[in-house]
């Protein structure tokens, strides 16, 4: 908590929490709106933090009810952040993106102020966001629009592919550092990972936005630190409610046990 901030007076109410799949869980009526057992109010900013970067998140429909989604928390942390529910971006999805699309169509030489955050592919490589920022002719330019895709790795790839005909007209594909040759981490070996990641460098939407804002915003380091601090607490609380992983018995051992039983009854 920063100096000058007042302590929150938390009240709690009985409310059905849809993400958990059960009804009647006590949910915090404070800033975070999460179940009491995983309340983040003491870590959250009292007011959403302002950014010059506008963040547009395409939120896969399946993620709306996922209890480990970081998007609901991110929306409460950042003022200039909006979410769109769907599987692809197209003209008509967002007034902000429609405006960028129309401007780019009328003037193809216009410098792109929009980026979409996703690892590159052979057919469409990406540039690391800090390199993209350094390559801009007008180094003082701000008011970027950053587009992020929120879903499982499989869903996110499908969302990006379906959105490319629209996005390619006005947005540049950027990424954070990643390595497809390295296995991704999980909640048991990282304080920032909520779900198993497919390869090294993959991260939650909240962490990805935090890392990108560090590069894009004048006060990026402070924004990153605040968001990462909240995410760490979110992961810590979730880890407290997980059972230790039990090693699965080897199939060979089961087969041997089955043979022994057969011999005994013979």
Domain CATH for 169: 3.40.1280
205 or 108, greater pLDDT: 205
Q: What global pTM score does this model have?
A: 0.76
What are 225-257's pLDDT values in tens digits? Answer: 999 999 989 888 877 766 554 444 544 455 555
**Is residue 251 included in any domain, yes or no?**
no
Task: State the pLDDT at residue 224.
Answer: 95
Say if residue 78 is in the same domain as residue 148.
yes
Q: Indicate whether 18 pLDDT > 70.
A: no
pLDDT at 52 over 70: yes
| Structural domain of 38 | 1-47
Same structural domain for residues 2 and 97? Answer: no
Task: Give the pLDDT score at 34.
Answer: 87
Residue 34 lies in a domain: yes
Residue 253: inside a domain: no
Residue 255 lies in a domain: no
For residues 199-208, average pLDDT: 77
DSSP string, the chain: --TTPPPP---EEE--BGGGTBS--EEE-SSS--BGGG--TTTS-SSPBP-SSEEEEEE-GGGGG-TT-SHHHHHHHBTTEEEEESS---TTS-HHHHHHHHHHHH-TTSPP-EEEE----SSS--EEHHHHHHH-SSTT----EEEEEES-HHHHHHHHHHHHHHHTTTEEEEE---EEEEE---TTT-SS-SS--SEET---HHHHHHHHHHHHSTTHHHHHHHHHHHHHHHHHHHHHTSPPPPPPPPHHHHHHHHHHHHHHH-
In a domain, 12, yes or no: yes
Task: Indicate whether 151 pLDDT > 80.
Answer: yes
Residue 259 within a domain: no
């Amino acid at each position: 908590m920063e100096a000058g901030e007042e302590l929150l007076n938390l009240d709690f109410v009985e409310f059905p929490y849809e993400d958990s799949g059960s009804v009647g869980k006590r949910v915090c009526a404070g800033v975070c709106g999460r179940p009491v057992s995983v309340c983040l109010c003491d870590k959250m900013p009292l007011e959403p933090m302002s950014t010059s970067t506008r963040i547009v998140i395409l939120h896969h429909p399946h993620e709306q009810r996922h209890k480990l989604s970081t998007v609901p928390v991110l929306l409460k942390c950042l003022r200039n952040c909006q979410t769109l529910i769907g599987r692809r971006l197209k003209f008509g999805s967002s007034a902000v993106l429609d405006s960028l699309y129309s401007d780019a169509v009328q003037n193809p030489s216009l410098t792109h102020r929009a980026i979409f955050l996703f690892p590159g592919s052979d057919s469409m490589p990406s540039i690391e966001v800090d390199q993209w920022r350094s390559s801009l002719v007008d180094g003082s330019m701000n008011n970027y629009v950053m587009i992020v895709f929120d879903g499982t790795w499989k869903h996110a790839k499908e969302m990006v592919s379906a959105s490319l005909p629209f996005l390619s007209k006005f947005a540049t594909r950027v990424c954070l550092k990643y390595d497809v040759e390295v296995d991704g981490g999980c909640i048991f070996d990282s304080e920032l990972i909520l779900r198993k990641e497919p390869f090294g460098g993959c991260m939650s939407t909240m962490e990805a936005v935090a890392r990108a804002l560090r590069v894009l915003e004048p006060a990026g380091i402070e924004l990153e630190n605040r968001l990462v601090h909240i995410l760490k607490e979110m992961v810590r609380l979730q880890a407290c409610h997980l059972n230790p992983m039990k090693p699965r018995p080897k199939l060979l051992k089961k087969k041997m046990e089955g043979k022994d039983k057969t011999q005994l009854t013979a």
